[in-house]
Amino acid sequence: MTAEAPKHRLFVTAPVVPGELITVDAERSHYLCRVLRLGVGDPVLVCDGHGNGYTATILRASTRRCELQPGEVAETAPAPAFTLTLAQSLIKGDRLDFVLQKATELGVTDIRLVTTSRTEVSLDDARIARRMAHWQKIVVAAAEQCERLWLPRLHPPQPLAELVAAARGERLLLEPGAARLDAPLPESDTLVLVGPEGGFATVERDHALAHGFRAMGLGSHVLRADTAPIAALAILRQSWGWKAP
């Protein structure tokens, strides 16, 4: 850290170059001017999503368009030493928004969305594009709120069989009634797979277990599809002493 970081932060998609103006779109400008009530001359921490936060000054403030001038780096964070991936089966409505928000707060490095035989959400290509844009906004807002400097990578929906075939490292499949973790996991690449509202079909479960996944239980109660991933991620982070991946 080379300077005191501003209180408010904003992730941007454009490359950040000290001294070069950044133009912020209407939605993010509204956030700066109306939600945060910032104006010309106010500082903001501009984050590139790759571990760097730059002190920036608002040069133009409008709910339709803001211009920021970034300066020196005020915060940095090292790249993740290993991955913590949430593989979340698609679930309905704002319940998935909740999972994405809390998973970001709990430090995941990757979020993989999964379709299964019991997935009740139907998405064509056009709707996937719209939903991905919406879900990305959820992730960004959560990262800003919890003061992350690295954005989790949000991957588009993929079939369960495709995920299972490509998964590496420690692979956990959440299953009601399965044994809980009997020892802390090593700090290494870890993936947590969560089923849809109706759970995995038996053939899907067996396929995953045959390909290196192991079942993980969360106690005697059957948790909802939007509660189970949060509980599992918190357990893993606790076992690692809440160190960031």
84-239 maps to CATH 3.40.1280.10: yes
Q: Are strands 52-60 and 84-89 parallel, antiparallel or unpaired?
A: unpaired
pTM equals: 0.92
Do the domains spanning 9-76 and 84-239 agree at the CATH topology level?
A: no
Query: Tokens 């999972």 identify what position?
Result: 99
Question: pLDDT-based confidence at 1, cuts 50/70/90?
Answer: very low
224 DSSP 8-state letter: -
Residues 9/147, Cβ–Cβ less than 8 Å: yes
Residues 26/37, Cβ–Cβ less than 8 Å: no
CATH of 9-76, one of 2.40.240.20, 3.40.190.10, 3.40.50.620, 2.40.10.10: 2.40.240.20
Q: Provide mean pLDDT across the span 137-151.
A: 96
Q: Where are the domains of the chain?
A: 9-76, 84-239
Give the model confidence (pLDDT) of 83-135 as tens digits.
Answer: 999 999 999 889 999 999 999 999 999 999 999 999 888 777 788 899 999 99
Which pLDDT value is given to residue 3? 55
What does the alpha-carbon distance between residue 96 and residue 6 come to, in Å, rounded to a whole number?
31
Tokens of 106: 């709990």
Classify 190 as helix, strand or coil.
strand
